[in-house]
Amino acid sequence: MKELKGLNYEEFFASGHRACAGCGEALAMRHIMKAAGPNTIVTQATGCMEVVSTPYPQSAWRVPWVHGAFENAAAIMSGIDASLKAQGKREGVNLIAIGGDGASFDIGFGALSGALERGHKFTYIATDNEAYMNTGVQRSGATFPFASTTTSPGGKKIHGKQEPKKPLPFIVAAHGIKYVASVTPANLLDLKKKVEKALATDHASFLHIYCVCPVGWHCKSDTAIELSKLAVQTRVFPLYEIEEGVLKFTQKVEKPKPVLEYLELQGRFKHLNEDEVQKIQDYVNARYDFLLSIEGKKAFDVLF
């Protein structure tokens, strides 16, 4: 396959899909598939990318692709893995199950947990735009604290979602998974490397991908990359890997930018007061300090 600076020229998630302008998830899909290549089978839960990429009778997918319900992308991929092994055809085939935050953090978590516990060899990718965007921007377990959604509106008494973001990558790592990583489409070489490492893992693997949604986040359609960079620079979305139970940063942020720089570019946070912004800053600091405290340690080694 022809490459430019390590990035594949070929497209396996084709242009012409119906994604919104500036969709971070569509950008992530494109480069995930560039890294995975043609010998790939994809299962995908109901959600934005499923809807925009497969309007019957058309498809943006240039590899075998299976649509499942909100809850069962991981279960379908478990069956594909078992079937290929039974037929002696498993070697050299990349298996990727994809779900948005609703399908991964919430509705499909049971199937995901079961597949991880059974040790199927596939990569699960959670494309996280922090709400149920496809069905009307309802809050999910991945929605950021104080964000306004249609079911956690920034009203006069309650200012957006009150609960913290579910730490799904660490819940996944607690299953004894050998490879877990966080990724953004703002660093394509890092994305490529992590997708390749995940697919090469002789066990289930998991990628958590940050995906800007201009519609749900009420941000400009040309800010997906800027916000993706700011999410890392403010420590809102740290980039790391957990290999064999050991966490290491792949981009450590020594001098973070204030979280306000990230929040003020998004209309979903426009209702916040100074006290709430400070609470978010404290929340981000505490979560990053936790990562620093377990960096380099076999935090999950007892599970292997």
Q: Are 185 and 224 in contact (CB under 8 A)?
A: yes
Phi first, then psi: give them for residue 33, nearest 5 degrees: -70, -30
CA dist., res. 128 & res. 28, Å (int): 10
pLDDT band at residue 6 using 50, 70 and 90 as cut-offs: confident
**Is the pLDDT score of 65 beyond 80?**
yes
pLDDT band at residue 157 using 50, 70 and 90 as cut-offs: confident
Q: Is the dihedral of CA 274, 275, 280, 283 positive or negative?
A: positive
CA dist., res. 244 & res. 280, Å (int): 31
> Taking the model in full, what pTM does it have?
0.96
pLDDT band at residue 93 using 50, 70 and 90 as cut-offs: very high
pLDDT at position 301 is 64
- What would the CATH number be for the domain defined by 3-303? 3.40.50.970
> pLDDT tens digits for 10-63?
999 999 999 999 999 999 999 999 999 999 999 999 999 999 999 999 999 999
Query: Cis omega before residue 57 (within 30°)?
Result: yes
pLDDT band at residue 270 using 50, 70 and 90 as cut-offs: very high
pLDDT band at residue 85 using 50, 70 and 90 as cut-offs: very high
**Interval 194-208 mean pLDDT:** 97
pLDDT at position 107 is 97
Closest-CA residue to 22 (of 60, 41, 55, 48): 48
**Interval 189-193 mean pLDDT:** 96
Q: Name the DSSP letter for residue 117.
A: H
Q: Which residues pair with 295 in a beta bridge?
A: 247
Share of the chain above pLDDT 70, in %: 97
pLDDT at position 298 is 81
> pLDDT tens digits for 211-238?
999 999 999 999 999 999 999 999 999 9
pLDDT at position 248 is 97
Share of the chain above pLDDT 90, in %: 93
**Is the pLDDT score of 304 beyond 60?**
no
CA dist., res. 186 & res. 290, Å (int): 24
pLDDT band at residue 286 using 50, 70 and 90 as cut-offs: very high
> pLDDT tens digits for 105-132?
999 999 999 999 999 999 999 999 999 9
pLDDT band at residue 5 using 50, 70 and 90 as cut-offs: low
Q: Name the DSSP letter for residue 232.
A: H
pLDDT at position 3 is 65
